[in-house]
Amino acid sequence: MDAKRELRHAQGKRRRRDNVVAVSVGGAALIAAVVLQLTVFNSNPSESDYAAAQAGLSSPSASPSATSSAPATNSANIPKADTAAGKTFTGQLSLNGGAVGVELDGTKAPQATAVFKSLTDASYYSGLKCPRLTTADNFSVLQCGAKGTDTTDDPNFHWGPLENTPADNKYPAGTIAVARTGNNAYGNGHQFFIVYKDTVIPPDAAGGYTIVGKVTSGLDVVTKIAQAGINPGSSATDGAPVAPVTIDSFSLK
């Protein structure tokens, strides 16, 4: 009888230990998944950022990156928000010959609208690339405005603050939002992303992502680019479009 009691006691301890291990592993996997998604809209993520995020999927010790210590100031060449405040600008973005109608909202996002109006007036985007595409069911965007085949941006061109970020973390199809460096409300740059299917993006330490406008026509141009697929990069659903995407022109009036 004593031997049976000892056996039952040992089995009970093992079950409790296994339950604790299962809960710990499940919690670590959830945290790692959030960490990976929080890195997705950095304007200029490095290969090491991608590698760390991917490693976190199988590492229970993964943790979010530290808050950026970058100054909360704009670069000297950033236009003032009041140049776009209260105004609406419409125009066209041409991608690989396909026309996408756009509208920017200077009431909800005056600083972002001022920046993009200034850049388009200077024909900054002509010939630039859209090097990043995500194809997950609830995470579907095309990121544009890079000079090369990765998302590296000019560190001397940064601005904020964040504007018009969704309280529910939802970015509906047709949203045009500003890409930025992680954990930095003044880490906006030249790049933007177009949401082609309803997407949810959890905020990072700085908050969400500035919604500057919307697509008014031609969202199918982006959808067709997505349907052609990706060359996987940071994950199986995040990489470069199979067919390279070039901005032919971007104009606003």
Give tens-digit pLDDT for 129-181.
999 999 999 999 999 999 999 999 999 999 999 999 999 999 999 999 999 99
C-alpha triplet 214, 219, 220: angle, nearest 5°: 175
DSSP state of 246: B
Burial class of residue 173 in the structure, from the number of CB atoms within 10 Å of its CB (0-12 exposed, 13-18 middle, 19+ buried): middle
pLDDT of residue 234: 87
> What are the strands, taking DSSP E only, across the chain?
88-95, 98-105, 132-134, 140-144, 170-171, 175-180, 188-197, 199-200, 211-217, 230-235, 238-241, 247-252
Give residue 90's identity as a one-letter amino acid code.
T
Whose tokens are 């010790």? That residue is 61
224: Cβ–Cβ under 8 A, 6 or more apart, which residues?
98
- CB contact at 8 A, 180 and 193: no
33: Cβ–Cβ under 8 A, 6 or more apart, which residues?
57
pLDDT of residue 71: 64
The span from the CA of 215 to the CA of 221, in Å, is: 11
Predicted model pTM: 0.77
Q: β-pairing, 199-200 with 170-171?
A: antiparallel
The tokens of 198 are what?
């309803």
C-alpha triplet 85, 87, 90: angle, nearest 5°: 135
pLDDT of residue 63: 25
Segments in the chain below pLDDT 70: 1-71
Whose tokens are 């339950």? That residue is 19
Helix 2-38 with 47-56: angle, nearest 10 deg: 150
